[in-house]
Chains A and B, each alone.
Chain A
C-alpha cells in the first residue's frame, strides 16, 4: 500500500477547542500553512441541531451520533474522560461554563506549601485568557475585583440572572457570600455572526441556535476561507524523530473508508488531543532511541493526571423559585478560591442553581397512597411552593505522581495499539485533607441554609475511585526538564519542534472548569510558536 505524504508548516493533531483557538490564531496572524488532523468525522451542521435536540429531549438519543471510534476508548478510573472524537471534540457537547482559574492556582506550593507551582503566573496568562474569551465569545459579569481580577472587560455583557437566580443571590448575600453571573460561552448579544442565547436550556449537550460556542464554527470558517486543511477520519498513531530528536513526521491511518496511510511532514507538530490522547500518542511513539516514549526524559509523560471533586447539596428555602427559567445558568463566587492564609489547605469554588429537587411529581404520597388525577397535581403544587437551591463546591485535589495514564496491552485497537488506562490518585496531602475539605463544605452549606431559614434536604459528594472532574495533566509544564514534560509555552523539553497544548500541560486543575484555561494555554503556546513565522500583512498593519 502506498503512503500518502502531506507536507505543511504546522501539523495540529486534534480538533478540539484548544486546536481551534491555536489554528485560528496562527493562520490569522501568521503566513503559515496549517493542517489539522482529526481521528473522527465531521460533527454535523447547525441546521441539523433542532431535530437532534428534539430526539435527545424526547428519547435521550445522542445529538452527536457516531462521534467516537468503537475501538478507541480509555479504561480505568476514567470518569471525566469522554470518548468523543469528531471535529470539535468534547467541546461539541460542553456546557459552555468558562471561569478562569484564580491567581493562587499557579502558586499553591509558594503560598500554601502544598502541590507544585506552575512555571507561569496568572498575570502572564491574563492576556491569553482575554484572547480566548474574545475568540470564543464569553458573556460575563465582573465580580468584585479583589476576588475576580482581570485586565480587560468581558467581550459581552453577562447573561442576565433569571428571576430565580436573583432571589438566590440575595440569599447568598445574606450569608456573606458575594455571587455573580457565571461566565459562559453563550452569546448575551449577537456575536461573530452567531445568534443570541434563547434559553433553550439544552446547552449541554446541544445548543440548537449556535449561541453557545463550539469549535466546529471556527473550523468551518477556516476551511471555508481556505486558511487550513482539515483532515478528518485520520488517526495519528505514531510520531517519528530523527537522530537529533527532531520530529520528522506523524504516521496516520484512515479510520473509515478504505485502508490508507498518511505521513505528515511538518516544521512543527502541535499535540492538542486532550489529556488522554496526547500522552497516549507520546507513549505509543517509543523507539529504540526513546524506549519510554517521546518527550519523556523526566518519566512524567502520563503522570500527574489532575482534576478535582465536589461536594453538593440541595437546600430548601422559603423562596419562590421557578425551576426551568434558565436551569443551566448559575451563580458563582471565587471567595473561597482566594482564602488568604490557611491553617489547613482548602480552596473551592461555589455555585448555586435553581432546582426542582424534592418538588417533583409523585406517584405515591408520604403514606404510600397512589396519587392519580388532581390529587397528584395538588400534591405537586403543595411541594412546589417552597424553593430549592442546588449548591456545589469543587475543591482542589492535588495530584499524585502516580495519578497516571499507562498503556494497557489487554485492550487494543484494530491496528494493535494498546489503549490508555487511567488511574487517578490524590497526592498524600490531599488524601489527608479530604475529610476536612468535605466536612468544611457541608458546614458551609448548613450555615447557608440556616441564614436563609432553610434546610439541607440532600447531601452528595463525588464518588470515590471513578476518576476526577475537569481532568488535565499527563504532560505537565515546568521550568525543570527533570520534573516536567513541557515549558510554560507548551514546548517539549526533549524535542525542538513539538508543542503540547491545553489540558495535558496543566500542573493542577484548580477547583473549577478548565476549558477556558486550556484554550488560554493553547493561545500562549501559539503565540510563541507563531513568532517563528512571518506576520500576515493584516496583522502587521494592525501593529501586532
Chain B
C-alpha cells in the first residue's frame, strides 16, 4: 500500500519532527551544551547510543547525536495542539511525554545487564548490549524506522530513528550534501549536490 495525500502530509510533518539537529541543539538549556539534560541517565543513554548508532560516525558524533536526542526529549510538550492541516477537521494534540517510559526501559537494560553479565550496561561490550536490546524490539521483515519518534516502542528505536531522521544522516546515506529541511539558497537547487567533504562511514 502506498499513502494517500493525508498520510503523506502527516508523514512529512513527522519526518521533519527530528530532521534538524541544529534545532534540537538550540533546545538544550544554556550551559548544558557539553552534557545531556538530566532526563535520562547520561551514561546509560550514551552506552545505548554506542550500541545502536553507526560505528563509523565516530564517538564524538555519536555523543553529539545522543545529546541532541536528550535535548529534544527534554523540550517535548505533551498535549500541544498538532497541525490540523489540509483535510483534517479534527483538532488533535501531541501524545503523553514518552520520556518516563523510555527512562524505565533504559533502567531495565541496566538491570538486565547486571542479571546476565554481572556488569552494568555501560561496561559490557557493544555486542552484548545489542544482544540485550534485540529481544525488546518489534518483529517483522523489512520494518522501517518510523519517523514518529514519540510513538517509538523502545528508547533504542527512538534514539536510532531520531538520528536517522536528521539532515546529517540523510546526507550520509546519499553520500552528498542535501541539507534537507534546512533553509538554503534557491539558486543551488538545480546543481547536483556536492559530495560529502570527507568520506565518513564508508
| Chain A residues within CB distance 8 Å of chain B | 54-66, 68, 70, 73-74, 78-84, 90, 93-95, 159-163, 166, 188, 196-202, 204-205, 208-209, 310, 312-314, 322-327, 357, 360-368, 370, 372-374, 376-377, 380-381, 384, 392, 458-463, 466-467, 469
Q: Which residue of A lies closest to B173 (CB)?
A: A380
B116 contacts the other chain (CB 8 A) = no
Tell me the bound Cα distance from A159 to B185 in angstroms. Answer: 12
Tell me the bound Cα distance from A225 to B14 in angstroms. Answer: 40
Q: A57-B19, A160-B189, A460-B2 are in contact. Are A363 and B145 (CB under 8 A)?
A: yes
CB proximity of A338 to chain B, nearest CB, Å: 24
B112 contacts the other chain (CB 8 A) = no
List 11 A–B pairs whose Cβ atoms lie within 8 Å, in order of A's numbering.
A56-B13, A57-B19, A81-B87, A200-B181, A322-B178, A325-B193, A364-B141, A368-B142, A372-B133, A377-B173, A380-B173
Q: Which residues of B contact A161 (CB under 8 A)?
A: 189-190
The answer to whether A377 and B86 touch across the interface, beta carbons within 8 angstroms, is no
Tell me the bound Cα distance from A200 to B182 in angstroms. Answer: 5
Which 4 A/B pairs are nearest by Cβ-Cβ distance? A324-B180, A458-B2, A460-B2, A361-B164
Tell me the bound Cα distance from A19 to B86 in angstroms. Answer: 20
The answer to whether B77 and A61 touch across the interface, beta carbons within 8 angstroms, is yes
The answer to whether A201 and B181 touch across the interface, beta carbons within 8 angstroms, is yes
Q: Which residue of B lies closest to A95 (CB)?
A: B86
Q: A58-B23, A163-B189, A363-B143 are in contact. Are A384 and B174 (CB under 8 A)?
A: yes
B198 contacts the other chain (CB 8 A) = no
The answer to whether B173 and A60 touch across the interface, beta carbons within 8 angstroms, is no
Report B29-61 residues with CB < 8 Å from chain A CB.
51-56
B137 contacts the other chain (CB 8 A) = yes
Tell me the bound Cα distance from A95 to B143 in angstroms. Answer: 31
Q: Which residues of A contact B138 (CB under 8 A)?
A: 363
Q: A81-B89, A458-B2 are in contact. Are A61 and B140 (CB under 8 A)?
A: no
The answer to whether A80 and B86 touch across the interface, beta carbons within 8 angstroms, is yes
Tell me the bound Cα distance from A308 to B150 in angstroms. Answer: 34
Q: Which residues of A contact B87 (CB under 8 A)?
A: 79-82, 466-467, 469
Tell me the bound Cα distance from A74 to B18 in angstroms. Answer: 32
Q: Which residues of A contact B26 (CB under 8 A)?
A: 54
CB proximity of B192 to chain A, nearest CB, Å: 5
The answer to whether B189 and A199 touch across the interface, beta carbons within 8 angstroms, is yes
The answer to whether B53 and A370 touch across the interface, beta carbons within 8 angstroms, is no
B134 contacts the other chain (CB 8 A) = yes
Tell me the bound Cα distance from A16 to B186 in angstroms. Answer: 28
Tell me the bound Cα distance from A323 to B193 in angstroms. Answer: 11
The answer to whether A377 and B24 touch across the interface, beta carbons within 8 angstroms, is no
The answer to whether A61 and B81 touch across the interface, beta carbons within 8 angstroms, is yes
Tell me the bound Cα distance from A98 to B94 in angstroms. Answer: 32
**Chain A interface mostly helix, strand, loop or mixed?**
loop
Q: Which residue of A lies closest to B180 (CB)?
A: A324
Q: Which residues of A contact B111 (CB under 8 A)?
A: none
The answer to whether A469 and B77 touch across the interface, beta carbons within 8 angstroms, is no
Q: A59-B17, A460-B4 are in contact. Are A322 and B141 (CB under 8 A)?
A: no
The answer to whether B23 and A57 touch across the interface, beta carbons within 8 angstroms, is yes
CB proximity of A396 to chain B, nearest CB, Å: 17
The answer to whether B1 and A460 touch across the interface, beta carbons within 8 angstroms, is yes
Interface centre among B86, B87, B140, by most A CB within 10 Å? B86
CB proximity of B153 to chain A, nearest CB, Å: 11
Q: A62 touches which one: B76, B81, B179 (CB < 8 A)?
A: B81
The answer to whether B143 and A364 touch across the interface, beta carbons within 8 angstroms, is yes
Report B122-170 residues with CB < 8 Å from chain A CB.
126, 130, 133-134, 137-145, 147, 150, 157, 160-161, 164, 167, 169-170
Tell me the bound Cα distance from A376 to B182 in angstroms. Answer: 24
Q: Which residue of B lies closest to A159 (CB)?
A: B186
The answer to whether A360 and B134 touch across the interface, beta carbons within 8 angstroms, is no
Interface centre among B5, B133, B138, B170, by most A CB within 10 Å? B5
The answer to whether B193 and A361 touch across the interface, beta carbons within 8 angstroms, is no
Q: A160-B187, A200-B182 are in contact. List 5 more A-B contacts (CB 8 A).
A: A61-B83, A62-B81, A160-B186, A373-B54, A384-B174
Q: Which residue of A lies closest to B191 (CB)?
A: A163
**Contact pattern, B 9-20, Cβ under 8 Å of A = 1, otherwise 0:** 100111011111
Q: B81 touches which one: A65, A74, A79, A204 (CB < 8 A)?
A: A65
Tell me the bound Cα distance from A202 to B13 in angstroms. Answer: 9
The answer to whether B53 and A312 touch across the interface, beta carbons within 8 angstroms, is no
Q: A161-B190, A372-B52 are in contact. Are A93 and B85 (CB under 8 A)?
A: yes
The answer to whether B145 and A163 touch across the interface, beta carbons within 8 angstroms, is no
The answer to whether B181 and A204 touch across the interface, beta carbons within 8 angstroms, is no
B6 contacts the other chain (CB 8 A) = yes
Q: A324 touches which one: B75, B170, B183 (CB < 8 A)?
A: B170
Tell me the bound Cα distance from A55 to B53 in angstroms. Answer: 25
Q: A59 touches which one: B51, B52, B76 (CB < 8 A)?
A: B76
Tell me the bound Cα distance from A64 to B172 in angstroms. Answer: 33
The answer to whether A376 and B183 touch across the interface, beta carbons within 8 angstroms, is no
B121 contacts the other chain (CB 8 A) = no
The answer to whether B186 and A198 touch across the interface, beta carbons within 8 angstroms, is yes
Q: Which residues of A contact B51 (CB under 8 A)?
A: 372-373
The answer to whether B56 and A362 touch across the interface, beta carbons within 8 angstroms, is no
Tell me the bound Cα distance from A374 to B164 in angstroms. Answer: 12
Q: A163-B190, A460-B4 are in contact. Are A60 and B17 (CB under 8 A)?
A: yes
